[in-house]
Structure formats: structure tokens, C-alpha cells
Amino acid sequence: MKLDLNIAPLSSWMPASSEPLIISGPCSAETEEQLLSTAHLLKATGKISVLRAGIWKPRTRPGEFEGIGAEGLVWLNRAKQETGLPTAVEVATAKHVEMALKAGVDILWIGARSTVNPFTVQEIADALQGVDIPVMVKNPINPDLSLWIGALERINRAGITKLAAIHRGFSSYEKSAFRNEPMWDLAIALKTIAPNLPILNDPSHICGTRDLIGFISQKALDLDMQGLMIEAHIDPSVAWTDAKQQLTPAALSELIDTLTLRTPDSENSEFTNKLTEMRGSIDRIDDQIFQKLGERMSIVEKIGTYKRDNDVTILQVNRWDEILQKRTAIGEALKLDKDFIEKVLELIHSESIRKQTAIMNEEKTAVK
Ligand code: PEP
Ligand code: MN
């Protein structure tokens, strides 16, 4: 499946003042002084393209700081005038859209808690009808690709072509080092079905803690994501929201210096030739793998018929244990990761069982 989105190239609306493209600013606008001083220090790094600030904060529990509101839009506009940085804010209602547009905000984004709700996304889309402003859509809280796609489609159908996705990780029941599990596969799946849709990464909300931000940022760039949104605060230790994950502008600047930008393709023809040759080898090996899988499955089918005609169960645990042990030993000798071998074997085994179950449910063909 390919998504039918009408997308303007990122460079047409988000001119990167330096590489990689970085959007930064505080999680929340708190005071005029906090916002302006953060903005000036970020600008001084020379590495930031867009200033972000949360004006309305969707909080899980009532009574927590819910954003400074309209007053913050005035400060943000002042920061824009003084630094020359374009600005971005999160909108969650039609009223937010109206106020942000009136206040001269340059880019809007839809937060993870809004993307989960098609009513909210549609309300925002309706408010954007006929407006020419870039919109970035964060992934929903839960790992549901369709909700993310649906939100992008709703905004695109409202006529917004300056559109990008932001990968900020997904809520997971499992405890892990991350605040939100990256689940990179979902971002890669979105990239595969919408190749012209720019995808940025938000390592701050994935990590939830400062220490991991560099690692996730590099991984995002290695996966060819087009930019990063990283929270920065003049003094993170006293931040009113997301204190643990915000960086000082100086720390952010150092982090950006450690990042390596790798190009998906190279101008160098010797490199390109070598790469083409190696890719050719991979293609041939992949063909062989699938050919062999096909052969294996046709034997599996024969065994299925034989088991059915002799009234034998599909699964024989001893046999499966034997396969697992032998193949894992061979795989490890070939320097393949044990976890990887087990996953591959389990996939092959479950497909074999599926095929044999289908055969079991057919009529017997042979008389014993
Ligand atoms: C934010 O960017 O501050 C924010 C609330 O993010 P998310 O919607 O990803 O939780
Ligand atoms: Mn935040």
C-alpha cells in the first residue's frame, strides 16, 4: 500500500539554517524571561532552525501546569522578532489554531495525545481549511500506525501540503530505559508507505532522560529521518514540565556536534560501484533464501498430508526442540545472534504449522 498524500518538499517550508535540521526550545513557555533567554542562547549556537515552545500543555493529571496560554504567544512572537527564528507550537483545539495563527506562529504541531483522537484531529483539520501553514503530526501515544496515518490524511485533506510526521515513541506496558518505546519499525513502516513524507524524530520524549538523547538522535539520523525536535531550557533543573529530559542550550550545542550525518547516496562513483556490486550479492542471496524457503514449505506440506492420512498430530514437541537446538548451534557457529536465530525459526515454524493445519482440515486423499 502507498499513501496518497499531496506533500510539499520539506526544504520548501523548513529551510535548514544548518545541518542536521534542529527544532528546539522549552517543553513549556513558563515566563517571558525564561523563553527569551532560552531562545537567544539557542540562536547563538547557530545550530537551530526553528524555536518550539508548548503554550497549551495536555497533562495526564489535572492540577499540573497546563500551559501559560495566550500570554505565551506574545512572548514567542517577541522571541521570533528578536532572534529571527521561525516558531512552532502545539495545537489541540480549533481555538488554539485560531490564536496561534493570529499571533504569527509559523509552524503548528499536533501532539501525541491529540493524534489518538480522530474527533480532535478533525476539529483541527477543519480549522485549518484554506490556511497555508506547515503542520507536523506526532505519532499517537499507542503503537497504532493507522491512527498516525489517519491524522496525516485528515490534515492533508484540509489542504495542508506542508506536512511532516514526528516520531516521538510509543507508550508501552513493558518497563524500559525509555519513557516512550521508539518502536522504530512503525516509523520505518510510515516511511515505506509514504516515501515523500518528511519524518522528524523527537528524542526528548522517547528518552525521558537527558543521557540517552544523543544515542537516539544518532539512530534517527542513521535511519534517514530529516530532522530532530529536542527540548532545551535555560535551566532544566527548575523546568515546570519535563525537567529530566531538557538540555541547556550549551549541552544541546555539544550534543549536535557529536552527531554524524550520513548521506543515503554518494556522489563518489567508486563508492557507488562497490555498493551496487555488494547489493547485487545481497539480492542473489535473498533470492536463494526465498527459493529455499519455498522448497522447505513444499516438503512441510507433504509431511502435513502424510500426518493427516496417518492420524498423527501436527506438532511433535521433541522434533521442534531438536530443530531449535541444532539450528541454534549452527547459527551461533556462523556468528548469528541467538535471539535472531530463534525469531527466524519461530516464524518459519509457525508458518509450517499454519500450512499443516490447513491440510489437516482437508479431506484425506489416500487410503491407509
Ligand atoms: C511536547 O512536545 O512537549 C509534548 C507534549 O509532546 P508529546 O505530544 O510528544 O507528548
Ligand atoms: Mn515536553
- Residue 306 and residue 239 share a domain: no
How far does residue 26's CA lie from ligand 2's centre (Å)?
8
List, chain by chain if needed, residues with CB within 6 Å of any ligand 1 atom: 27, 54, 111-113, 138, 168, 202, 205
Q: Which ligand does the CA of 54 lie closest to? A: 1
Of ligand 1's listed atoms, the one at least distance from the Cα of 114 is: 8
> By alpha-carbon position, which residue is closest to atom 8 of ligand 1?
111
What local confidence, expressed as pLDDT, does residue 367 receive? 46
Residue 277, C-alpha cell as written in the block? 556490486
Task: Give the list of residues 6+ apart from residue 158 with CB closer than 8 angstroms, or none.
Answer: 125, 126, 128, 129
In a domain, 336, yes or no: yes
Same domain (yes/no): 129, 275: no
Provide the pLDDT confidence category of residue 291 given band limits of 50, 70 and 90.
Answer: confident
Percent above pLDDT 90 for the chain: 77
User: Is the pLDDT at 237 greater than 80, yes or no?
Assistant: yes
Residue nearest to atom 2 of ligand 1 (CA): 27
pLDDT higher at 310 or 91 = 91
Q: Which range among 89-98, 281-290, 338-347 shows the weakest confidence by mean pLDDT? A: 281-290
Contact assessment for residue 118 and residue 157, using Cβ atoms and an 8 Å cutoff: no
Q: How far is the CA of 347 from the centre of ligand 2 (A)?
A: 38
Whether residue 352 lies inside any domain: the answer is: yes
Same domain, 220 and 282: no
Query: 189 and 306: one domain?
Result: no
User: What CATH number does the domain containing 142 carry?
Assistant: 3.20.20.70
Instruction: Say whether both 196 and 279 belong to one domain.
Output: no
- Domain match, 171 and 292 both: no
Total number of domains constituting the chain: 2
Choosing from 64, 90, 147 the residue with most ligand 1 atoms within 8 A of its CB, the one to mutate for a pocket test is: 90
- Whether residues 80 and 17 share a domain: the answer is yes
Residue 368 lies in a domain: no
pLDDT at 60: 80
Ligand nearest to the CA of 111: 1
For residue 365, the model assigns a pLDDT of 64
C-alpha cell at 315: 506438532
Count of beta carbons in the 10 Å neighbourhood of residue 97: 23
Range of the domain at 51: 10-258
Residue finishing a domain among 238, 258, 278: 258
pLDDT exceeds 60 at position 366: no
Our mutation pick for probing the ligand 1 site, out of 51, 113, 178, 207, counting the most ligand atoms within 8 A of Cβ, is: 113
Q: Which of 258, 293, 328 is the last residue of a domain?
A: 258
Average pLDDT over residues 45-66: 93
Amino acid at 81: Q
Residues 6+ apart with CB under 8 A from 274: none
